């Protein structure tokens, strides 16, 4: 008998939203263990995502009002009688007390992504961390950060690395050779609250890169309240003509940006996983990440990219320059990045990992 699963989700934009859509698909598209899935979401899934396509077996309810979301969650617990309840974010797990009382034998799984559980939490958010059946994190880094921020009094933790959908990866041909120009790409939200992504450090480092690769070009995908500051930074360093801000783009334009780049650089310390690294690896781009972070779990330093201390602009510049000037090193890491993506991070591989944890399937 197919397990009955209720997913309570944010319906968020960005990487969390992509993960939520991929989770829904992988619980349904394998006929051997397909689940009966009901989804209650705070927001309508972003229509611009290529992963957004109808799944006939899923029931989707949008409840934007927090009270209606809670009431609908309770109603689903009563009428569907789920075997498994999945919270895709700690923000939507605040109904856990009611659902635990209504369905005491149901398995309850909380998925944590990163920064949302690194901060002090209210009682309503700490309760599901402690009382749910299982916590799923996307990286060991988040698992360690959970212990540091919230203590070790929480449910058992299982690490399940994320993946990319086949829809997103469709048509991608990994780079075989670097370009003669030397194109560097970084992708991320440009908000004042997201400065720890390190995009400002990439701009600072790029001034030094141009001393060795004067024809190089830096492109930045993303938009937000911090964009003006970053544009002014590039101008103050005298490199505004070598730094292009592409703004927010759709999936097709984003994939084209990867395809036209040689190196991906994002020395972020606030990622809990970083789907952008997978996107870059799918295109065969060596990646530069901050050492000791979640990014360094996705990108293996010395194999599929390079790791640098998060705040060391000089080492970041050296890493970028090395990949733009050492063709043999670039080729070796490019092939390894593409192979790692194909073996570990395609939709099928992620599906096997997450179904094993959530449904007990092989």
Over residues 205-225, the pLDDT tens digits come to: 999 999 999 999 999 999 999
Q: How confident is the model at residue 196 (pLDDT cuts 50, 70, 90)?
A: confident
Distances (CA, A) of 146 to 92, 139, 289: 18, 11, 21
Q: Is 223 exposed, middle or buried (0-12, 13-18, 19+ CB in 10 A)?
A: middle
Position with higher pLDDT, 43 vs 239: 239
Domain coordinates in residue numbering, the chain: 4-163+347-358, 169-345
How confident is the model at residue 57, as a pLDDT? 64
Residue 54 has pLDDT above 60, yes or no: no
Once rounded to an integer, what is the mean pLDDT over residues 116-137? 92
Note the pLDDT tens digit of each residue in 143-166.
999 999 898 889 999 999 999 999
**Average pLDDT for the chain:** 91
Asked whether 106 and 78 are in contact (CB, 8 A), the reply is no
Q: Which residues does 167 contact at the CB level (< 8 Å), separation at least 6? A: 50, 51, 53
Residue 13 has pLDDT above 90, yes or no: no
How confident is the model at residue 33, as a pLDDT? 57
CATH of 4-163+347-358, one of 3.20.20.70, 2.30.30.180, 3.40.1380.20, 3.40.50.2000: 3.40.50.2000
CB-side neighbour CA atoms (13 Å) of 347: 20
DSSP states along 30-63: -TTS--EEEEEESSPPPTTSTT----TTEEEEE-
Is CATH 3.40.50.2000 what the domain over 169-345 is classified as, yes or no? yes
Q: How confident is the model at residue 182 (pLDDT cuts 50, 70, 90)?
A: very high
How confident is the model at residue 30, as a pLDDT? 61
Note the pLDDT tens digit of each residue in 309-356.
999 999 999 999 999 999 999 999 999 999 999 999 999 999 999 999
Residue 194 has pLDDT above 80, yes or no: no
Q: How confident is the model at residue 32 (pLDDT cuts 50, 70, 90)?
A: low
169-345 has the same fold as 4-163+347-358: yes
Once rounded to an integer, what is the mean pLDDT over residues 45-64? 73
Residue 31 has pLDDT above 60, yes or no: no
Distances (CA, A) of 257 to 17, 18, 122, 239: 21, 19, 41, 20
Distances (CA, A) of 320 to 225, 232, 325: 27, 22, 9
Asked whether 126 and 105 are in contact (CB, 8 A), the reply is no
φ/ψ of residue 126, rounded to 5: -70, -35
Apex CA 13: angle with CA 89 and CA 199, to 5°?
100
**Residue 266, H or E segment:** none
Lowest mean pLDDT: which of 20-29, 95-104, 259-268?
20-29
Residue 23 has pLDDT above 80, yes or no: yes
Q: How confident is the model at residue 34 (pLDDT cuts 50, 70, 90)?
A: low
């Amino acid at each position: 008998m197919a397990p009955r699963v209720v997913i309570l989700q944010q319906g968020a934009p960005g990487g969390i939203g992509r993960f939520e859509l991929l989770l829904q698909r992988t619980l349904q598209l394998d006929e051997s263990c397909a689940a009966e899935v009901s989804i209650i979401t705070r927001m309508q899934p972003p229509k611009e995502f290529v992963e957004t396509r109808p799944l006939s077996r899923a029931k989707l309810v949008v409840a934007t009002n927090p009270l209606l979301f809670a009431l609908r969650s309770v109603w689903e617990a009563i009428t569907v009688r789920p075997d498994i309840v999945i919270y895709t974010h700690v923000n939507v797990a605040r109904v856990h007390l009611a659902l635990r009382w209504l369905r005491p034998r149901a398995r309850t799984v909380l998925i944590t992504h990163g920064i949302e559980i690194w901060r002090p939490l209210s009682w309503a958010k700490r309760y599901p961390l402690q009382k749910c059946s299982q916590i799923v994190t996307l990286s060991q880094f988040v698992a360690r950060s959970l212990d540091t921020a919230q203590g070790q009094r929480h449910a058992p933790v299982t690490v399940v690395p994320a993946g990319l959908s086949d829809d997103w990866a469709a048509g991608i041909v990994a780079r075989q050779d670097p370009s003669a120009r030397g194109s560097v790409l970084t992708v991320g939200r440009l908000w004042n609250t997201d400065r720890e992504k390190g995009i400002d450090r990439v701009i600072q480092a790029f001034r030094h890169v141009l001393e060795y690769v004067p024809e190089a070009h830096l492109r930045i995908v993303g938009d937000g309240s911090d964009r003006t500051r970053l544009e002014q930074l590039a101008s103050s360093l005298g490199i505004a003509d070598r730094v292009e801000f592409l703004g927010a783009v759709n999936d097709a334009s984003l994939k084209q940006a990867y395809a036209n780049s040689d190196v991906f650089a994002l020395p972020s310390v606030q990622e809990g996983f970083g789907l952008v690294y997978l996107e870059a690896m799918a295109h065969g781009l060596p990646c530069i990440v901050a050492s000791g972070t979640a990014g360094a779990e996705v990108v293996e330093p010395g194999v599929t990219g390079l790791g640098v201390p998060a705040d060391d602009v000089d080492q970041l510049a050296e890493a970028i320059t090395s990949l733009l000037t050492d063709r043999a090193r670039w080729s070796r890491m490019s092939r390894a990045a593409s192979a790692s993506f194909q073996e570990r991070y395609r939709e099928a591989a992620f599906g096997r990992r997450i179904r094993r944890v959530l449904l007990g399937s092989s």
